[in-house]
Amino acid sequence: MKILVAIKRVVDYAVKIRVKSDKSGVETLNVKMSMNPFCEIALEEALRIKQSGLASEVVAVSMGPSQCVDTLRTGLAMGADRGIHVESTAALYPLTVAKLLKALVDVEKPGVIILGKQAIDDDCNQTGQMVAGLLGWPQGTFASKVLLDMEKQVATVEREVDDGLETLCLDLPAVITTDLRLNQPRYATLPNIMKAKSKVIKKYTPQELNVEVKSDIEIVEVTEPPKRKAGVIVSSVDELIDKLRNEAHVI
Ligand code: AMP
């Protein structure tokens, strides 16, 4: 069985985000970009499944500008067998990414697709659900534990929900999205970084996959959150109550 893993290139989680002066989005020029942390977890899970002998190949897919190849190389250095880059300079929103993934499923025929539960740049948390819907496959979202039974052709997915743990049994093929506590992703070792340079990355354009890049969403404006006002130290409980009542109007 083949596992397809979607890995997105995003602004590194440790970078302080700056909004562009024209408010059209977030500054990405000369900013450190990395693999979306939830996608690292997705790839790690796929690699563990392969290491346990339940999958024969892990294929990493990234969509976006030419620099996505760096993200794919990181994925290949972690252990993915090969990469697929769908190149597009236009912004790709979840529905388009889901359509492109569906088109790749038609070519690659994976038994499982693993995605991050959300990308930390757009925080959409939509792509996994949309691709499952488009394919008509069952979905186990926010997985905190994944077990595959290849004989029965099912995946058991444990997910953290508000009142505890929910366990789902999905018929394969299926879509899984990963939560934070699923695993601890590995670091790429130097020999594997060297090996990754010779692994294959196949390129597609959205046109070659018969997907039109368009969006029904228009980003009207991106602004920074309002600056927090400095706090004040009150000298008595009476003063605190007075401020809460007459300034903050919360009591
Ligand atoms: P989102 O729905 O945008 O929050 O993204 C959820 C997940 O979909 C990500 O963690 C990735 O696994 C996948 N994904 C979204 N956009 C892309 C992309 N451009 N390239 C590869 N994977 C993506």
pTM of the predicted structure, to 2 decimals: 0.91
Q: What's the pLDDT at 52? A: 97
Q: Is the distance from the beta carbon of residue 172 to the nearest atom of ligand 1 less than 6 Å?
A: no
**For residue 215, what pLDDT is reported?**
82
**Residue 125 alpha carbon to ligand 1 centre in Å:** 8
Cα–Cα distance between 93 and 99 in angstroms, integer?
A: 10
| Low-confidence winner among 106-110, 181-185, 225-229 (lowest mean pLDDT) | 225-229
Question: Side by side, which strands form the sheet with 154-161?
Answer: 164-171, 154-161, 139-149, 174-178, 112-116, 2-6, 57-64, 82-87, 201-204
Mean model confidence pLDDT for the chain? 95
Q: Distance, CA 53 to ligand 1 centroid (Å)?
A: 27
Residue of 33, 43, 127 with the most ligand 1 atoms within 8 Å of its CB, for mutation = 127
pLDDT score recorded for residue 181: 94
Provide the 3-class DSSP secondary structure of residue 155.
Answer: strand
54-58, 101-105, 175-179, 228-232: segment of lowest average pLDDT: 228-232
Confidence of residue 228 (pLDDT cuts 50, 70, 90): confident
Contact 201, 83 (CB under 8 A): yes
Kindly report the protein residue whose alpha carbon is nearest to atom 14 of ligand 1.
8
